[in-house]
A and B are shown apart, each in its own frame.
Chain A
Amino acid sequence: MGRFIQFALVRAVMSLFTLLTVSLIVFSLMELVPGNCAERYLAFKNTQGSQITIADIEAEERRLGLDRPFMVRWATWVGNVFVHQDFGDSCILRLDINQLLSDKFWISLGICLAALFVSYLIAIPVGIYSATTKSAVTNNSLRFISYLGLALPNFLLALIIMLFSTVMFGDSLTGLFSKEYRDAAWSLDKFLDFLSRAWLPIFILGWSATAFALQTVRALMLDEVGKLYVTAASARGISGRRLLWGYPARHAMGPVINSLGFDLNRIFNELPVVALILTLTEAGALLIESLARSNDQQLAGAIIFLLTASIVIVNFVTDMMLALMDPRIRKGLIGS
């Protein structure tokens, strides 16, 4: 047991270190881009007809604290995040980030996790079937569909569906909520309304995720089914589903569980583009805004921090799951 706790602690410390490093990388990269947040903010205002001088930009920089060296800014920010759980203010939106992200990040995470769940719900049985089926037609059409999922960019799929819906139904399928629920507090009706819209991003993100997962599961299964222990089990008279699920599939699942954190990251990476096209107002869209348009270091840092934290947590959980599932690891850590 002691070794298990040690294992968990080491993992936790490494996770924290990852979080720190990621936020430093985000801050540093954003520092390289010309034009800081004060300038971007006033550039927006300039298109609103405001006459702006260099002095205005400097005043804005002072107001936002951008005149301090960037390591100082980063250290202050990280300190506040760890000590007060306070992400500070978004410089471009002038809002408290904790408040801003409270709903939005969960919505994004929910969409990604749903897409992840859907993709494995489909990919695992279909992948196993595809690896073991003898029908060339089924196998090839499954492979064709999954390659399509890999090859078709998400944003294009989103645009095709939106265009189709616009032409056929006169609804562009954009946004996360209907107008009547946009400003309402969360309720069952609002959640159902949310689902009636959220299926589209989940479907689009799930589509390519499924294709990817399908290929993974199929390849892992193909690796396993030819192995000796399967033949041995088969020789002992085990056949059909019992054989597949009990032996090769069980082994093939290990790497799949191991890569869940990676999959979540990949889906989240695709989310901003889809979110922009579908005008979803969640964290993915905000991330693009803060990175590309406004150079809002604190906001981008906060979103990526939360995302990294989610992935780290998922990894931590899958590590634990694997440790408990795999008798070899379990025994190594806990003793029998």
Chain B
Amino acid sequence: MKRALLQQPTLASKVASKVASKVASKVASKVASKVTSKVTRTGIQVLAVAGIMGSTVGVTPALAADCPAVTGADNAGISVGQFPNQYERAEFEAAAGCTLAFTANPDIEALNAQIQGNGPLPDLADRLPSEPLVIVPYESIGKYGGTFDALSNATEAGTSDFLSIRHVNLVRYSDDLQTIVPNVAKGWEWNDDFTELTFFLRAGHKWSDGAPFTAEDVKFWYDNLALDSKVIEKPKDYVLVAGEPMTVDVIDPQTVRFNLPAPKPGLVAHFATSFAQGFQPKHFLGQFHPDINPDADKLAADAGFENGLAVIKAYFGNSDWTDTPSPLLNSPDKVDNLPAAVVPTLESHIYVSDTTEGRHLVANPYFFMVDTQGNQLPYISEQDEVYINDAQVRLLKLVNGEVDYKAQSLQLSDVPILLENQEKSDYTIHIRPKIAMHVFSFNVTSDDLEKRKVFGDLRFRKAMSVAINRDDLNEAAYFGQGVPSQYIGFSPAPDFVDPKWKTYATEYDPDAANAALDEIGMADVDGDGFRELPNGDKLVLNMQFATQGIAGQVVELVGQYWSEVGIQTTVKEVTPDEYRSAQSSNQLDVGMWEKSQPLGIVLGNNELWVPPFENYFAHRVGMLWAEYVESNGASGVEPPAYVDQLIADINAFQSSPAGTPDSDALGANLVKNMTENLLFIGTALTPDPIYHRNALKNFVEFKTASYEYYRTYPYLGPQWYFDE
């Protein structure tokens, strides 16, 4: 993944010189030479060149022709750009030898009229940036119109699937899930030691109300929202580096720099995967922020709000979540006094209604993307979201074809009924691998010292792993769709992972399990057919699970496999809250929850490798080790040496550029220590269904069914269209 980002010097200078020569033939040789020298000096970043080239080469060639309909299916003889599925305008026009003529959705005036607070529209040329992002549609140039129907669970639950379709951020992961590509930013650049990250924005880029989007909006988001305790009480982890805040410098309206207190190469990956957008409209929210506008409180009072911060709360929800209630829902009686019903956005669609039943959106008339023939995206005019919280009703609506796309909340067990009705209701189900798999763990710091001794014994954990008949489990619980695997932390496995770990101790070997348990001294003393603890105490593994984290069938089968080697188990379903509360108070014998993270997340977040090995809502083990680490040894239980090694390795891993031999060695060591110690016992990597109606075109099959790359964001929702 990081390879795209961290071009080797040879490649960088090659591209740079190519670009430089093109640029030189036009204008701005000063800029070009500056950029070239910078790129050559740092030897890292080529993206910025493409961007700056865009700003200097937006000039009509003498023999302009209509641009060819370049698509993913037919490249019309045009060479692929620097990044897959997209070009910068100048890059495209140079490659295709044409000038883009821009066209807008014919209904855009009517759509704009629905956006409360938007005035009449200027010409399209004045709405698009002078350097729009040119998207290569997957199959064909689309048609304008239609309403996209989506399901969520509630205003702020189960929405990320739908949010991701219109989402934009500074950068994006391409559909290969390895290459980070420009999005709102046209390029970025790191300094040598990864402590300065500069983003280059698009000249002429506008918010959905027509106001210019500039570097000030990035700084405003960081200084006045993310770090302002009056807005967000405690800064989120992702805006900090090693717990310390960064600073943001506005270099010029199109250039903004993050200064990091410590190296964090994963910061770019954060912007590519996170729901948190690194910008908010200063011209709009700033007028209500007392630090920006001295009259903010008065302005707010005129609109009927307590103070300026209350208005910001109404618009921004005091978090980077983009699904918090808008003033349409949270202040219906005051919304008419406000300058706009919802905060201006850079996304492809904007809210025009927001109730407890659902939300409705229309296309953003100022959206910054065009297709290869100059048609402004998005193609789809409107989006409609309805809240359905019941799984069966959700399924019914999908089977009826009432929804255009859905992946979140669908499970493997839904697949048979979904497949059965594919033709009747004219939709398609893709079955794609998930990131996380169902994983078991033993409480290695159990309060019961005898249990702690046994669970802490690697021979015991290995016996429990080989006692699981994963092929049988796969057939019975996963419809044969899974791949029996061990838990290695990363998913999908990066190249640096030694393949042997993926299947380490996954062979079904009840004899070996029995032998190991005998060796530990767990004999059946009382003759009830089950083994006791070495000290003779009875052992019954209490397997409490919540269906939110793992399927009941899997738990029951695994409990049965363990019983077969003489470990008595009881299975009980509890609510997620009960599970979490038992986990927090160190009451669980067996942890059971989904687990794994992709490399892109691990680069920015070390929680998977530091006791308790994940956050409050996920699968934790070694609670007393965690206490020891957090208290610097003052309380808790001292973890074994391999845990210290994991902590050291992950911190080094995050500070070294990914893809380098150093980083790969650290990654390989992380996987080795995590896997061979079997703190977590894997089952099988399984897939989940992804639903889309066949009328939805330019829909590419996703690489994974997962949240981690922000759902549909890598797959270019703005270029989806309907062909009914």
B323 part of interface (Cβ distance < 8 Å): yes
B377-399 interface bits toward A, Cβ cutoff 8 Å, 1 = contact, 0 = none: 00000001011111011001101
Chain B residues closer than 8 Å to A43, beta-carbon distance: 576-577, 617
Q: Say how far A49's CB is from chain B's closest CB, in angstroms.
A: 5
Complex Cα gap A40–B577 (Å):
8
Taking a contact as CB atoms under 8 Å apart, the answer to whether B400 and A50 are in contact is no
- Distance of A268 Cα from B393 Cα, bound (Å): 22
Contact across chains for A59 and B234 when beta carbons are under 8 A apart? yes
Pair B358/A182 contact, Cβ less than 8 Å: yes
A170 in contact with B615 given A33-B577, A51-B237 (CB within 8 Å): no
Q: Is the CB of B233 within 8 A of A44?
A: no
Most buried by B among A48, A62, A293: A48
State whether B357 touches A48 (Cβ < 8 A).
Answer: no
Whether the Cβ atoms of B332 and A99 lie closer than 8 Å is: yes
Say yes or no: B321 contacts A174, CB within 8 Å.
Answer: no
Q: Mark A27-39, 1 if CB is under 8 A from B, else 0.
A: 0000001110001
B103 part of interface (Cβ distance < 8 Å): no
Q: Inside 8 A of B707's CB, which chain A residues have their CB?
A: 47-49
Distance, CA A22 to CA B333, complexed state (A): 31
- Check A183/B355 contact, CB under 8 A, given A46-B617, A48-B275, A172-B397: yes
B605 beta carbon closer than 8 Å to chain A: yes
B317 A94 Cβ-Cβ under 8 A: yes
A1 lies within 8 A of chain B by Cβ: no
Which listed residue (B321, B333, B575) contacts A48, Cβ 8 A?
A: B321
Interface residues of B in 547-580 (CB under 8 A from A): 575-578, 580
A193 at the interface (CB under 8 A from B): no
B393 touches A34 (CB 8 A): no
* Known pairs A49-B707, A94-B324, A174-B393; A182 contacts B357 (CB<8 A): yes
Query: A166 near B: Cβ within 8 Å?
Result: yes
Do B402 and A281 touch (CB < 8 A)? no
How far is the CB of A336 from the nearest CB of chain B, in Å?
A: 52
B424–chain A nearest beta-carbon distance, Å: 10
Smallest CB–CB gap between B41 and chain A, Å? 35
Binds A, one of B150-158, B205-213, B456-464, B523-531: B150-158
Are A50 and B616 in contact (CB-based, < 8 A)? no
Nearest B residue to A285 via CB reads: B389
Considering the chains assembled together, what is the distance between the CA atoms of A159 and B325 in angstroms? Answer: 31
Q: Is the CB of B616 within 8 A of A57?
A: yes
Task: Check B321–A95 contact: CB distance below 8 A.
Answer: no
Q: Which residue of A lies closest to B160 (CB)?
A: A48
How distant is the Cα of A62 from the Cα of B318 in the complex, in angstroms? 14
Q: How far is the CB of A169 from chain B (nearest CB, A)?
A: 10
Question: Shortest distance in angstroms between A24's beta carbon and chain B's nearest beta carbon?
Answer: 23
Is residue A162 contacting chain B, with contact meaning CB distance below 8 A? yes
**Bound-state Cα–Cα, A283 to B155, Å:** 16
Write out, one digit per residue, whether chain A residues 85-97 have a CB within 8 A of any chain B CB (1) or not (0).
0000000011110
Interface string of A80-112 (1 = CB under 8 A from B): 000000000000011110011000100000000
Residues of B within 8 A of A59 (CB): 233-234
B606, chain A: closest CB distance, angstroms: 11
Per the CB 8 Å criterion, the residue count for chain A at the interface is 52
What CA separation (Å) do A166 and B399 show in the bound complex? Answer: 9
With a 10 A CB-CB cut-off, give which of A33, A47, A104 has the most chain B CB atoms: A47
- Chain A 152-176, CB-CB to B under 8 Å as 1, else 0, gives 0000000100110010001110111
Give the residues from 283 to 338 in chain B that come closer than 8 angstroms, CB to CB, to chain A. Answer: 317, 321, 323-325, 329-330, 332-333
- By the criterion CB–CB under 8 Å, are B396 and A172 in contact? yes
A280 to nearest B CB, angstroms?
Answer: 10
Residue pair B616, A54 in contact (C-beta under 8 Å): yes
Within 8 Å CB of A41, what residues of B? 156
Residues of B within 8 A of A277 (CB): 390, 392-393
Contact-residue size bin, chain B (C-beta under 8 Å from the other chain): 35 or more
Least Cβ–Cβ distance between A259 and chain B, in angstroms: 32
Contacts of A174 in B (CB 8 A): 388, 393, 396-397
B321/A183 in contact, CB under 8 A: no
Chain B, residues 153-176, CB within 8 Å of chain A (1/0): the string is 011111110000000000000000
- A319 CB-CB contact with B under 8 Å: no
Closest CB in chain B relative to A192 CB, distance in Å? 18
Nearest residue, chain A, Cβ from B401:
A170
Check B355–A279 contact: CB distance below 8 A.
no
Bound Cα distance from A277 to B393, whole angstroms: 7
Contact A93 B356, CB 8 Å, known A45-B321, A170-B400, A174-B393: yes
Q: A43-B576, A44-B156, A53-B616 are in contact. Are A95 and B329 (CB under 8 A)?
A: yes
In whole angstroms, what is the CA distance A172 to B356 when docked? 20
A54 to B386: give the CA distance in the assembly, Å: 32
Q: Say if the beta carbon of B353 comes within 8 Å of chain A.
A: yes
B144 within 8 A of A: no
Query: Does B442 sit within 8 A of A, measured CB to CB?
Result: no
Q: A266 within 8 Å of B by Cβ?
A: no
* B430 sits at the interface (CB 8 A): no
- By beta carbon, the residue of chain A nearest B390 is A276
Q: In angstroms, how far is the closest chain B Cβ from the Cβ of A202? A: 19
The CA-CA distance from A262 to B514 in the complex, in Å, is 62
Q: A55–B234 contact, CB under 8 A?
A: yes
Residue A134 lies at the interface, judged by CB distance under 8 Å to chain B: no
Q: How far is the CB of A43 from chain B (nearest CB, A)?
A: 6
Residue contact A94 to B325, C-beta cutoff 8 Å: yes
A94 and B396 within 8 A (CB): no
Interface mask (A266-299 → B, CB under 8 Å = 1, otherwise 0): 0000000000110101000000010001000000
Interface string of B604-628 (1 = CB under 8 A from A): 0101000000011110000000000
**A52 and B156 contacting across the interface, CB-CB below 8 Å:** no
Q: Which residue of the partner chain, among A33, A50, A62, A177, contacts B357 with CB atoms under 8 Å? A: A177
Q: Which residue of chain B is the closest to A40 with respect to CB atoms?
A: B577
Q: Are A49 and B577 in contact (CB under 8 A)?
A: no
Does residue B710 face the partner (Cβ distance < 8 Å to A)?
Answer: yes
How many angstroms from the CA of A57 to the CA of B584 in the assembled complex?
14
**A206: min CB distance to chain B, Å:** 22
A159 contacts which chain B residues (CB < 8 A)?
Answer: 392
Chain A's closest residue to B397 (CB) is: A172
Contact partner of B234 among A33, A56, A176, A293, CB < 8 A? A56
A179 interfacial by beta-carbon distance below 8 Å: yes
Please give, as numbers and ranges, the residues of chain B lying within 8 Å of A42 by CB-CB distance: 617
Q: Determine if A63 is an interface residue (Cβ-Cβ < 8 Å).
A: yes
B255 interface residue (CB < 8 Å to A): no
Contact residues in A for B358 (Cβ distance below 8 Å): 182
How far does the alpha carbon of A180 sit from the alpha carbon of B561 in the complex, in Å? 54
Tell whether, in the assembled complex, residue B396 and residue A166 are in contact, meaning their CB atoms are under 8 Å apart: yes
Q: Is the CB of A35 within 8 A of B400?
A: no
> Contact: A51 with B396, CB < 8 Å?
no
CA distance A175 to B156 in the complex (A): 19
As a 0/1 sequence over residues 233 to 249 of chain B, the CB contacts with chain A under 8 angstroms (1 = contact) are 11011100000000000
**Complex contact A166–B400 (CB within 8 A):** yes
Nearest Cβ in chain A — how far from B427, in angstroms? 14
| Alpha-carbon separation in the docked complex, A200 to B384 (Å) | 24
Query: Do B605 and A51 touch (CB < 8 A)?
Result: yes
Report the minimum CB–CB distance from A88 to chain B (whole Å).
14
The answer to whether B355 and A182 touch across the interface, beta carbons within 8 angstroms, is yes
Chain A to chain B contacts (Cβ below 8 Å), 23 pairs: A34-B580, A35-B580, A39-B580, A43-B576, A43-B577, A43-B617, A46-B615, A48-B157, A48-B160, A48-B321, A49-B160, A51-B607, A52-B615, A53-B615, A57-B616, A96-B330, A99-B333, A159-B392, A172-B400, A172-B402, A177-B357, A182-B355, A182-B357
Question: What 11 new A-B contacts, CB under 8 Å, besides A48-B159, A94-B324, A166-B399?
Answer: A44-B157, A46-B615, A46-B618, A47-B157, A48-B156, A48-B707, A51-B237, A162-B396, A172-B396, A277-B390, A277-B393
| Interfacial residues, chain B to chain A (CB-CB below 8 A) | 154-160, 233-234, 236-238, 274-275, 317, 321, 323-325, 329-330, 332-333, 353, 355-358, 360, 384, 386-390, 392-393, 396-397, 399-400, 402, 575-578, 580-581, 605, 607, 615-618, 707-708, 710
Which 8 A-B residue pairings sit nearest by Cβ, starting from the closest?
A35-B577, A46-B617, A183-B353, A44-B157, A34-B581, A48-B160, A34-B577, A59-B233
